Amino acid sequence: MSVGTLYSQTAEILRSRIAQSVWKQGDRLPSENELCQEFGVSSITMRRAVATLVAEGLLVRLQGKGTFVSSDHAVIQGPPELTSFSQDMRARGWDATARVVALRTDRASDRIATKLGLLSGALVSVISRVRLANRLPVAIQTAHVPALLFPGLDKHDFSRESLYDVFERVYGVKPAHATDVYNASAITAAEAAQLEVEPGTPAFRVERMTSDSTGRRIELVDSVIRGDRWTLVLRLSASRQSVR
């Protein structure tokens, strides 16, 4: 097995231990020698594996103290999987909650209607929430869903319930596919008050279009995500045909 393959496999095991909360935020990792003995790899392999996770923001090195699981409350997103915010947080062992800013029925604008494949002016349910991870604000999300497809959403407490869970459990509609479009931006004064940051703080603006297994569009979400608490990590592999 090549050194490159071995260090990648080692990095993946380290990554899974963090994802499964074997090592929690703020925990100090065992020494390099202890890790090498446990994994049966060389110090060079272990250093490369640890360096990979440091670059991803999962680990942080403190001079003279060791290597620790990042405790800056940044959400590491990747590789791409279709999960709700609540599912994402639970997978990391964090408490996902929300502050509901608005829950109403509106007439769809031309943009919203076009995105959802509806007639202009069709009824849509609008759910706007500040999303929190371990009680710290991470994002503002505004979801638009076809009101005829999901009647009675106002009966649910979306400060605690996941919208995807409600889709599947109550309406029998399972989100199957989604496209996320990321743009770099700055947080406005109004958004800053909700996200507890200064206006102008870097942010991601994300548009998500979600569909079910038949291709029916069921949700359009606009998100403003704090750049200091969200890291997007994509692990890429070359196809065999492209490696020469």
Tell me the backbone φ, ψ of residue 200, rounded to 5 degrees.
Answer: 90, -5
pTM of the model: 0.67
Angle at 58 between CA 20 and CA 78, to 5 degrees: 75
Q: Which CATH number fits domain 3-71: 3.40.50.450, 3.40.50.20, 1.10.10.10, 3.40.190.10?
A: 1.10.10.10
- Tell me if domain 3-71 and domain 75-232 are identical in fold: no
Look at residue 236 in the predicted model and tell me its pLDDT: 59
Domain map of the chain by residue range?
3-71, 75-232
- Residue 23's nearest CA partner among 62, 86, 68, 78 is 68
Q: How far apart are CA 244 and CA 241, in angstroms?
A: 7
CB 185 within 8 A of CB 195: no
Q: Which residues of the chain have pLDDT under 50?
A: 1-3, 79, 243
Does residue 202 sit in helix, strand or coil? strand
Angle between helices 32-39 and 43-56 (to 10 degrees): 110
Look at residue 89 in the predicted model and tell me its pLDDT: 66
Look up the CATH superfamily of 75-232.
Answer: Chorismate lyase-like (3.40.1410.10)
